[in-house]
Amino acid sequence: MIAATQSHRVSSTKGIPRHTLSLLIAAVLSGHSYAEAESTLSTEQNKKIERISVTATRQTENLQDVALAVTALSASELEKMNVQDLGDLASHVPNLNLHSGDASNAVIYIRGIGQIDSISFNDPGVGVYLDDVYLGRVQGAFLDVVDPEQIEVLRGPQGTLYGRNTIGGAVRFSSAKPSQDNEGYVSVALGNYNARTIKASVNGALIEDTLSGRFAIAKSSRDGFSENRYNNRDDHDKDTLAWRGSLLYQPSENFSAYLVVDGSNASPSSSRTPHRETPIYSVIKEGYYAPEEDPFVVDVNYNDLEELDTSGASLTLEYLTGHSVFKSITARREMEYRTHLDLDATPDASFGIFNFEDQQQISQEFQWLYKDDQFSLVSGLYYFNEDDLSFGGSVAPDFFVMVSPDVYLPWPVINAGERDQENTSSALYANLSWPLTEKLDVTLGARYTIEKKEVTSKGEEFFGTGVTTAEEMEAVFGTGIGYSPTGYSASKEWKEFTPKVVFDYTISDNSMVYLSAGKGFKSGGFNGRITSFAQPFEPETLWSYEIGSKSLLNKQNIRLNTAAFFNDYKNFQLSRFSIDPDTGAFLSLFENAGKATIYGAEMELEAVASDNLTLNLNLGYLGGGYDELIGDFGKEISDEKELVNSPKWNGRAGFEYFFSAFTQGEFSLRASAAYRSKTYLTVSSSEVLAQSGYTLFDMSLHYRSADDTWEASLYGKNLGDKRYRQHGFDLSAAPGVQLGYYGAPRTYGINLKYKF
Residues 161-212: pLDDT tens digits?
A: 989 999 999 999 999 999 999 999 999 999 999 999 999 999 999 999 999 9
Band (pLDDT 50/70/90 cuts) for residue 7 is: very low
Query: What's the chain's Rg over C-alpha atoms?
Result: 26
Check residue 632 and report its DSSP letter: G
| Assigned domain for 355 exists | no
Residue 20: per-residue pLDDT: 34
| Assigned domain for 354 exists | no
Peptide bond into 745 cis (omega under 30): no
Determine the distance from the C-alpha atom of residue 568 to the mean position of all C-alpha atoms in its chain, rounded to a whole number. 22
CATH of the domain at 732: 2.40.170.20
Identify whether the C-beta of residue 243 lies closer than 8 Å to the C-beta of residue 215: yes
Name the CA dihedral angle for 681, 686, 689, 690, rounded to a multiple of 10 degrees: 60
CA distance 48 to 16: 11
| Assigned domain for 353 exists | no
Q: Who wins on pLDDT, 292 or 22?
A: 292
Q: Who wins on pLDDT, 582 or 750?
A: 750
Residue 414: CB atoms within 10 Å? 25
| Assigned domain for 356 exists | no
Q: Strand ranges (DSSP E) for 372-412?
A: 376-396, 400-404, 407-410
Burial of 226 (0-12, 13-18, 19+ CB in 10 A): buried
Residues ≥6 apart with Cβ < 8 Å to 231: none
pLDDT, tens digit (0-9, with 9 covering 90-100), for 226-269: 999 999 999 999 999 999 999 999 999 999 999 999 999 999 99
List Cα–Cα distances, 42 to 12, 17, 46, 358, 371, in angstroms: 14, 8, 10, 60, 39
| Assigned domain for 2 exists | no
pLDDT above 70 (res 582): no
Identify whether the C-beta of residue 314 lies closer than 8 Å to the C-beta of residue 334: no
Residues in the chain: 756
Residue 79: CB atoms within 10 Å? 18
Closest among 220, 218, 310, 306 to 264, alpha carbons compared: 310
Burial of 30 (0-12, 13-18, 19+ CB in 10 A): exposed
pLDDT above 70 (res 652): yes
Query: Average of pLDDT values for 113-123?
Result: 86
In terms of DSSP bridges, do strands 133-134 and 183-191 run parallel, antiparallel, or are they unpaired?
A: unpaired
Residues ≥6 apart with Cβ < 8 Å to 633: 581
| Assigned domain for 260 exists | yes
Q: Mean pLDDT for the chain?
A: 90
Its domain, for residue 682, covers 7-348+361-755
Burial of 440 (0-12, 13-18, 19+ CB in 10 A): exposed
CA distance 743 to 90: 12
Identify whether the C-beta of residue 263 lies closer than 8 Å to the C-beta of residue 243: yes
Q: Who wins on pLDDT, 72 or 37?
A: 72
pLDDT above 60 (res 543): yes
Identify whether the C-beta of residue 155 lies closer than 8 Å to the C-beta of residue 112: no
Query: Average of pLDDT values for 423-434?
Result: 96
Residue 48: per-residue pLDDT: 60
| Assigned domain for 719 exists | yes
Query: Average of pLDDT values for 349-372?
Result: 96
Beta bridge partners of 381: 366, 428
Check residue 161 and report its DSSP letter: S
| Assigned domain for 146 exists | yes
How many domains does the chain contain in total?
1
Query: Average of pLDDT values for 650-662?
Result: 92
